[in-house]
Amino acid sequence: MPTRFARLTAPALLAYALLAPLAQGAPHIPASGGAVLERLPRRADPVQRELASLRAQLAANPRELALATRTAQRYIAVARQETDPRYFGYAQAALAPWWSMAAPPPEVRLLRAILLQSTHHFAEALGDLDAIVATDPANPQAWLTRAIVQTVRGDYQAATASCARLSSLSTELVTITCVANVGAMSGRAAKSEALLEMTLRRNQEADAGMRVWVLTLLGEMAQRRGDARVAEERFKRALALDPRDSYLLGAYADFLLEQRRAPEVIALVKDHARIDALLLRHALALRQGGAGAGAGAQLRAADAELKARFEAAMRRGDTVHQREQARYELHIRADAKTALALAQQNWAVQKESADMIILLEAAAKAGDKAAAAPVIDWVAKHALEDVAVARLVKQIKQIKAGA
């Protein structure tokens, strides 16, 4: 992935992909020596052979910049393809000679920003991105990454400005996707969805990875306005292009849970339990469905595994998955107080619809009208259009003062 190029391609979408970081599980102690912990990639796998070759070359020449950045780029791509967070660590290790520099080479700085945002170190990532665009204003990957981070943080004016810089540097579809992603969160949902859908129809030749991103966003937009039929059609089109995309799987699982279709969620995520966010969806589906032989035992096992993983993350000081942990505490453990505290900490970092929903759900369950006030004010200020959020806001406003 070069640091400068005229047109964004699928590898440039790493910025978006890493906003849904792959959750790292806690150490797991098997019940017996015969338990299968994981099926490792075959050494004959062409991707593994390629990575082994890159590792060997880098071990011999650890300070060769072009080789190090090429290796890191490949690890990041494989992290998404394999839904395996360890490859992010390998990517950072490849950049070790420059990682701690205040001003590393630009190509390293961009990759560092992408990896920092994957762990929700948004301020540090923006520091690197600001430095890049100040010296290289024609860098589309930096502007895209910057816009996405700014959107997640709720800085919609700055995100719109970053998206605007893409218009002369990138494809129409990337630019409109960036703009629509911001508009959908800031009072322009209907126009943003219509524009993005029309732009996708004009760009059917776009790379599959790009179309998965767009279709996932369009599915979420339809879901937020309450059109289940259209949302499902878009999610399924995206899954046909990439049935392993972890963010897409989580988004579709949440849609199915909202529709109370727990058995379909279980089937969807059954082979992805090593990803914390998808193991959580599995547990939520078991809790919602509760039918079938062994469902209770499966739920208890998933509960214990999630508890261990979240406790391990807290010991590491990892706060990336506070939203998922809040959902776990509220819907699996029925601990509204703990869920609300986690949701409030998460809200201080990121402000997407899902962040609003879990805070409002926890506040409603805890009967804490004051705790919900920041989200309610945010929704009103930015004219957010989301039927689930609106329903929760209405519910909380009906809570009696002092209740």
pLDDT, tens only, 331-360? 999 999 999 999 999 999 999 999 999 999
Full residue range of the structural domain in which residue 135 is found:
1-18+50-168
Q: Residue 397 pLDDT > 90, yes or no?
A: yes
Predicted local distance difference test score (pLDDT) of residue 231: 98
Mark whether 114 and 225 lie in a shared domain. Answer: no
Does residue 173 contact residue 203 with C-beta atoms inside 8 Å?
Answer: yes
Per the document, the length of the chain is 403
Q: Are residues 14 and 121 both part of a single domain?
A: yes
Residue by residue, DSSP assigns 135-147 as H-TT-HHHHHHHH
For residues 15 and 174, which has the higher predicted lDDT (pLDDT)?
A: 174
**Dihedral of the alpha carbons of 293, 296, 301, 305, in degrees to the nearest 10:** 130
Q: Given pLDDT bands bounded at 50, 70 and 90, which one contains residue 204?
A: very high
Give 41's pLDDT tier (boundaries 50, 70, 90): low
Question: Which pLDDT band holds residue 317 (cuts at 50, 70, 90)?
Answer: confident
**Contacts for 336 with CB less than 8 Å, ≥ 6 apart:** 329, 330, 362, 365, 366
Final residue in a domain of this structure, among 130, 149, 168: 168
Residue with tokens 């998404």: 80
Same domain, 329 and 348: yes
pLDDT tens for each residue of 47-103: 889 999 999 999 999 999 999 999 999 998 887 766 666 788 899 999 999 999 999
DSSP string, 264-325: HHHHHHTT-TTSHHHHHHHHHHHHHH--STTHHHHHHHHHHHHHHHHHHHHHHT--TTHHHH
Q: Specify the pLDDT at position 87.
A: 86
Q: Is residue 81 part of a domain?
A: yes
Query: What is the spatial distance between Cα 29 and Cα 201, in angstroms, rounded to a whole number?
Result: 49
Q: 344 and 198: one domain?
A: no
Q: Say if residue 116's pLDDT is above 80.
A: yes
Question: Minimum mean pLDDT among 117-121, 146-150, 264-268, 375-379: which range?
Answer: 117-121
User: Are 270 and 376 part of one and the same domain?
Assistant: no
pLDDT score recorded for residue 83: 62
Mean pLDDT of 160-172: 95
From the list 117, 119, 140, 138, the residue with the least C-alpha distance to 128 is 117
Is 38 within the bounds of a domain?
Answer: no
Answering whether pTM is above 0.75, one says yes
Q: Where a domain ends, among 299, 318, 337?
A: 318
Q: Does residue 290 lie within any of the structural domains?
A: yes
Q: Is residue 267 part of a domain?
A: yes
**Nearest Cα to 153, choosing from 192, 186, 180, 175?**
186
d(CA 15, CA 4) in angstroms, rounded, equals 15
Q: What is the mean pLDDT of the chain?
A: 88
Contact indicator for 339, 319 with CB cutoff of 8 Å: no
Q: Which of 16-30, 215-229, 375-389 has the lowest mean pLDDT?
A: 16-30
